[in-house]
């Protein structure tokens, strides 16, 4: 389907062009002389990894980005100060079938193959599109998705190895796309989820030999939504995020006229909660009430104070409807970037959970609507001084993002630092790269100029603007990424 974007206002036209970009498998080299500014010496040899849906218009369907096929990008900063970009689709079973047929075949979380409900009732393979996260681990590249096992890629060739079950540990299990790396213990932490009248979760810690170190289980009361989690030294931490069934939409889903994402909604009639599952011993999970009804999508970090108080930094919504993420307006309409504005901004909260208490307090850490929070990667589960994230300069709203924010998490907090992209240019997830000094790297999407730009900032001087900019062909809007230093390969 060819969207007619000419009549859209510039912001919507830029957003649609970026979401619809589908350059396919590519390899590009940018020499140092074509880079605006200079790639910092401490970053050279490093790799920025990125994953997100790289095919959002499939045949005649405009696809919800949650259902677009995973497209992994490797931005290699060369020793000479240049850049090499390599990008490949993740060859999942669903991708192979739809690439062969050149049409949308397999039902997704938020998209059906046809406007005719009876055509959606055909039995198809699960639509694991491996499009959400990317992690270098144990010599492989792991790419995650929400409702199935991750896939593994060769980090050098980007060839798809196939579903990765960690020796059968997560075979057939819905494993959260977000995984977390505990650098202190040298472990990768996974969270599996089994939905039902109650929601069972299983946390597993894997060492670099991919051996299971420990597994712990917990329960979220009722139907619940989980996308991310965090951890401290003693706890795994999830948002309670209660869901309510939409009976009519659920019935429509069963007969092929609706989708899974449309059949449920966040239940803001119930109190917001955090669920704390003991990490190093079996035991009952703690249910901790939040001050207001809440939906926690992404966590920044968690840690414990000397007296056992748990501190959790999280991005929280107080209003949210599933289905309109990224401005999705249906399979036959352009994306509308104004749709997310109706739900208001999510806020970055510092949540304090005293020892043996079942109620938390919180404070807002910045006036902006922040998402995609990232900290120093070696500090997960420990106190840290700085968080970076994506936001809007207009503090009333969140996504689509136009700014990068740096938030001081120290005891004597300074005002957040902000850098805003040019008009009608969108900001992806910023990543904090440790070093001397620390840097921030992010991708910008400019649909009006048909280009993406890798931008690099000194973390302590964000507002001064980028120290380096690398202009590239327009890449699809991505979800999440990771930084890999040369010493980590």
pLDDT at 412 over 80: no
Does residue 233 form part of some domain?
yes
pLDDT number for residue 1: 52
Residue 4 in domain: no
- Tell me, what's the pLDDT at 76? 97
Q: How far apart are the first and last CA of the chain?
A: 41
What's the rounded mean pLDDT across residues 159-166?
Answer: 96
Q: What is the mean pLDDT of the chain?
A: 94
In a domain, 118, yes or no: yes
DSSP assignment of 100-151 equals HHTS--S--SS--S-SSGGGGGS---------SEEEEETTEEEEE-SSB--E
Q: Is residue 5 part of a domain?
A: no
Residue 288 tokens read as 């901790």
Q: Average pLDDT, stretch 98-121?
A: 94
For residues 459 and 432, the answer to whether their CB atoms sit within 8 Å is yes
Residue 2 banded pLDDT, cuts 50, 70, 90: low
Q: Which residue has the tokens 């062909």?
A: 473
**What digits encode the pLDDT tens for the residues 57-79?**
999 899 999 999 999 999 999 99
In a domain, 2, yes or no: no
The per-residue pLDDT for 344 is 85
Tell me what pLDDT residue 88 has: 98
- pLDDT higher than 80, residue 471: yes
**CA neighbor of 253 nearest in space, from 434, 369, 215, 245:** 245
The first and second tokens of residue 146, run together, are 């929400």
Look at phi and psi of residue 312 and say left if phi exceeds 0, alpha if psi is from -120 to 50, else beta. Answer: beta
Q: How many CB atoms lie within 10 A of CB 331?
A: 20
CA distance 366 to 407: 7
Number of structural domains found in the chain = 1
Q: Is residue 186 part of a domain?
A: yes
Q: Which domain holds residue 204?
A: 10-488
Nearest to 153 by CA among 138, 166, 143: 143
Interval 294-322 mean pLDDT: 96
The partner residues of 36 in beta bridges, in order of sequence, read 469
Asked whether the predicted pLDDT for residue 275 surpasses 70, the reply is yes
pTM of the model: 0.95
Burial of 478 per CB tally in 10 Å (0-12, 13-18, 19+) = buried
Instruction: Average the pLDDT over 18-37 and give the result.
Output: 96
What's 205-234 look like in SS3? EECCCCCEEEEEEEEECCCECCCCCEECCC
The residues, ordered by sequence, that sit 6+ positions from 156 with a Cβ below 8 Å of its Cβ are none
Q: In whole angstroms, how large is the CA radius of gyration of the chain?
A: 21
**441 pLDDT exceeds 90?**
yes
- Do the Cβ atoms of 264 and 243 come closer than 8 Å? yes
So what's the pLDDT on residue 388? 98
Q: List all residues 6 or more positions away from 64 whose beta carbon is below 8 Å from its beta carbon.
A: 108, 109, 110, 111, 261, 323, 325, 326, 328
CA distance 422 to 468: 16
The pLDDT, as a whole number, for residue 122 is 85
In a domain, 339, yes or no: yes
Does 112 map to a domain? yes
Average pLDDT over every residue of 81-103: 97
Token duo for residue 392? 């809007």
pLDDT at 179: 96
Looking at the chain, the whole-number percentage of residues with pLDDT higher than 70 is 99
User: Is pLDDT above 90 for 442?
Assistant: yes
Looking at per-residue pLDDT, the higher value among 121 and 405 belongs to 405
């Amino acid at each position: 389907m060819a969207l007619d974007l000419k009549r859209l206002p510039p912001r919507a036209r830029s957003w649609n062009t970026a979401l619809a970009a589908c350059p396919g498998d590519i390899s590009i080299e940018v020499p140092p002389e074509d880079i605006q500014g200079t790639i910092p010496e401490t970053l050279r040899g490093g790799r920025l990894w990125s994953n997100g849906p790289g095919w959002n218009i499939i045949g005649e369907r405009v696809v919800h980005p949650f259902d677009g096929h995973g497209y992994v990008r490797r931005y290699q900063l060369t020793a000479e100060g240049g850049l090499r970009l390599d990008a490949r689709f993740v060859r999942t079973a669903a991708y192979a079938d739809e690439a062969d047929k050149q049409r949308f075949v397999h039902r997704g979380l938020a998209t059906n193959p046809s406007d005719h409900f009876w055509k959606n009732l055909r039995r198809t393979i699960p639509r694991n599109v491996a499009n959400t996260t990317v992690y270098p681990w144990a010599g492989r590249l792991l790419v995650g998705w929400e409702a199935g096992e991750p896939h593994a890629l060769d980090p050098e060739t980007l060839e798809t190895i196939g579903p990765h079950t960690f020796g059968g540990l997560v075979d057939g299990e819905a494993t959260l796309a977000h995984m977390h790396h505990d650098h202190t213990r040298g472990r990768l932490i996974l969270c599996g989820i089994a939905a039902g009248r109650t929601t069972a979760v299983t946390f597993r810690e894997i060492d670099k030999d991919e051996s299971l170190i420990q597994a712990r289980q917990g329960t979220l009361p009722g139907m619940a939504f989980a996308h991310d989690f965090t951890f401290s030294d003693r706890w795994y931490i999830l948002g309670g995020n209660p869901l309510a069934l939409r009976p009519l939409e659920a019935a429509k889903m069963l007969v092929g006229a609706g989708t899974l994402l449309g059949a449920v909604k966040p239940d803001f009639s119930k109190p917001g909660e955090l669920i704390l599952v003991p990490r190093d011993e079996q035991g009952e999970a703690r249910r901790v009430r939040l001050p207001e009804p809440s939906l926690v999508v992404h966590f920044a970090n968690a840690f414990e104070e000397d007296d056992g108080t748990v501190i959790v930094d999280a991005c929280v919504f107080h209003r949210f409807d599933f289905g309109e993420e990224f401005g999705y307006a249906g399979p036959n309409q352009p994306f509308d970037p104004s749709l997310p504005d109706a739900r208001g901004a999510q806020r970055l909260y510092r949540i304090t959970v005293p020892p043996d208490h079942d109620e938390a307090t919180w404070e807002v850490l910045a006036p902006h609507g922040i998402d995609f929070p990232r900290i120093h990667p070696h500090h997960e589960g420990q106190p840290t001084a700085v968080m970076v994230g994506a936001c809007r300069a207009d503090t009333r709203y969140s996504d689509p993002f136009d700014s990068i924010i740096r938030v001081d998490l120290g005891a004597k907090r300074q005002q957040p630092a902000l850098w805003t992209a040019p008009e009608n240019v969108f900001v992806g997830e910023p990543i904090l790269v440790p070093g001397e000094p620390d840097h921030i790297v992010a991708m910008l999407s400019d649909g009006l100029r048909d280009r993406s730009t890798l931008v690099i900032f000194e973390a302590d001087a964000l507002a001064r603007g980028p120290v380096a900019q690398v202009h590239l062909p327009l890449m699809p809007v991505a979800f999440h990424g990771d930084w890999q230093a040369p010493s980590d390969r």
